[in-house]
Amino acid sequence: MVILLALAVPLAIYEFGGMFGTSAAGPVAAPATSASVPAGAKKTGNIASSQPNTLDPTLRTDILDESRRTKYEAGGRNIFRMEEPPPPKPIADVRTMAAPTPTPVPTPTPAPPIPLKFNGFATSRPNEPKRIFLIENDSVYVAKQGDIVDRRYRVVQIQPTSVTIEDVLYNNKQNIPLTAK
């Protein structure tokens, strides 16, 4: 504990020693006026060219007056865009232009077949809608008309020997016959 205290005291003196006496900043230069600009400097509309290299915090009214007199003249550049616009495309001569080649029309990929198998009906009461068994790999689903199975397939219509299923991702309807075991 004594060793830590012996290290902390000089460190604290070093860190906080500048707050109570000396200042790290050098002396402040006197405010520059337009008369202090060297004789060889150009007097243009550019404010930075007439400003000396000082860190004086006083208000420079001469620079403010000069900036008020400066008028913005558009140079064809949009000040709100970072990049320059692309150069204009040259206009091709009609006689030298070749006939454009027709682009092939992409053929849509066919929808994958629905992997469900219609396995039969569930027994239900007379007032309830028909329920069916659908099998996909090792999963068995019990569904009625309008239900969505496996978050992808909708039961559109139930018939005695087949079921119409719609793949909602590909908007593909497929009739699945009743399979016998």
pLDDT for the residue 157: 93
pLDDT of amino acid 36? 47
> Model confidence at 179, in pLDDT bands (50, 70, 90)?
confident
Structure confidence at residue 107 (pLDDT): 83
Q: Does residue 148 have a pLDDT over 50?
A: yes
Q: What is the pLDDT of residues 79-123, one digit of tens each?
A: 777 777 677 787 776 666 566 677 888 888 888 889 999 898 887
> Percentage of the chain with pLDDT > 90?
27
Q: Is residue 21 scored above 80 in pLDDT? A: no
State the pLDDT at residue 109.
Answer: 82
- Give the pLDDT mean for 119-140: 86
Residue 160's pLDDT band (boundaries 50, 70, 90)?
Answer: confident
Q: Is the pLDDT of residue 156 over 90?
A: yes
Q: What is the pLDDT of residues 36-81, one digit of tens each?
A: 444 444 444 454 455 556 677 888 899 889 988 887 776 666 677 7
Residue 149: which of 164, 128, 129 has the closest Cα? 164
- pTM for this model (two decimals): 0.41
How much is the mean pLDDT over the chain?
Answer: 78
Residue 34, amino acid: S
